[in-house]
Amino acid sequence: MGRSGRKARILAGLSLVLLRDPTEAGHGDIPRIVSVRSEYVQQLQNTGERILLVDLRSSSDYHAGHLPGAISLPISELAQRHAELPRAGRLILYCDCSLAEITTAYELLRAKGYQNHAVLEDGYRGFIRRLGPAPSR
């Protein structure tokens, strides 16, 4: 695949989501969250592209089932353990948490200097609904 084809594939899978807490309208910058669709993540995995899926759910939820190749880093531990995440390559964060929680996780990594992360648009359950059960590894 040529450069322009690869660039088009990447752009097709990414979306920039602008979020604003209505209770804070007019206060500061609008957070910008880069999100990716489940199909895009599956396509990256199928082509062998190296990505690190970061499961932000509880350890028990992770052990009950997770996306292929995902690591467990509960959202409650992210602030203390973020240094375990690589700063190179792609990081895809997912959970089954509220929009506020995933936004906080995304912003925490950005504040720590990470520029290589995105959020799985529909979370774990959305991935399963769209693409079927994911075998855990």
46: part of which helix (H) or strand (E)? helix 38-46
Class assignment of domain 31-131? alpha beta
Task: Note the pLDDT tens digit of each residue in 4-30.
Answer: 454 444 444 444 443 333 333 333 454
Query: What are the angstrom distances between the C-alpha of 20 and each of 14, 30, 108?
Result: 19, 6, 16
Average pLDDT of every residue of the chain: 80
The rounded distance, in Å, linking the Cα atoms of 80 and 135 is 29
Query: What are the angstrom distances between the C-alpha of 75 and each of 6, 79, 105, 132?
Result: 32, 8, 7, 24
User: How would you write the pLDDT of the chain (137 residues) with one tens digit per residue?
Assistant: 455 454 444 444 444 443 333 333 333 454 578 999 999 998 998 898 889 999 999 999 999 999 988 999 999 999 999 999 999 899 999 999 888 999 999 999 999 999 999 999 989 999 988 887 655 44
